Amino acid sequence: MGTRQICAVAQMTSTDDLAANLRVAEALIGEAAARGAVLCALPENFAFLGSREGAALAVAEALDGAGPILTMLRRAARAYQITIVAGGLPERTAEGGTRIHNCCTVVQPDGTIGAAYRKIHLFDVALADGSVHQESAQVAPGQEVVVADTPLGKLGLSVCYDVRFPELYRALVDGGATHFVVPAAFTLHTGKDHWHTLLRARAIENLAFVLAPAQVGRHNDKRVTYGHALIVDPWGNVLADGGSEGTGVVVAALDVALQQKWRRELPCLDHRVVGRAG
């Protein structure tokens, strides 16, 4: 692995049209590969973002199954020889029932599943703009912290609301993570004030690269998201920003040698006193 690796993060406006969303996602993966990316990250809910509570249950898949979501991801990974981080996809839970997992899934270039993280922190809030979100009504929380081996290095997996819990990212660093992925469908109301700040904070405090694919725009009469798919370096610099409009991918070359230099010069991770594993 070289010291500079090109990665891509996607920005989408997903709806309740599964087939249309998958066509867009596959095209974006192809664009990422054409631009030299070894890894492409898709946003949370890339395959399905509906307005009706519980609707995602009908399209949920098992990771070892052959449903349309996993079929597309495996096909695209093989065709483009690229690692795909599939944001948060609707995964059937082992016990079945009325809830799913919001699962961040790493698909390797040979089409196999390299890692899967079930979102731990669920978005149960009533916001000042009048919107109410009760993710736990349809999503079962995960329990495990997951670090995946990727062409970029050790990638700590998270999803959207997780970004507000810095202790998760400390645990990912303790697991060896040098990069984080934060696929999201951030609300417009919170995104305009918090999105850039939170992502840059997670990068700076851990001296880690942050890859944040995002949903953008109006999805239905109940949901508008902030956009601004970001790639942030370990010093907190924004290397790429997808903006507030439109579907596409943004790419950046990540300089791992520079990250290692910064971690040597500013060894704050070694200076931790409270909460360090071991």
Point out the residues that are catalytic.
Answer: 44, 119, 160
Dihedrals phi, psi of 74, to nearest 5 degrees: -65, -45
Tens of pLDDT along 67-97?
999 999 999 999 999 999 999 999 999 877 8
Interatomic CA distance for residues 160 and 183, integer angstroms? 6
Tens of pLDDT along 199-220?
999 999 999 999 999 999 999 8
Interatomic CA distance for residues 49 and 21, integer angstroms? 9
The residues that bridge with 263 in the sheet, in sequence order, are: none
Q: How many CB atoms lie within 10 A of CB 213?
A: 30
Tokens of residue 183, six digits: 């696929």
- 278 has a pLDDT exceeding 70: no
* 2 band by pLDDT with thresholds 50, 70 and 90: low
Q: What is the pLDDT of residue 223?
A: 87
Q: Where are the domains of the chain?
A: 4-265
Tokens of residue 113, six digits: 């599943």
Interatomic CA distance for residues 188 and 83, integer angstroms? 29
Structural domain 4-265, CATH architecture? 4-Layer Sandwich (3.60)
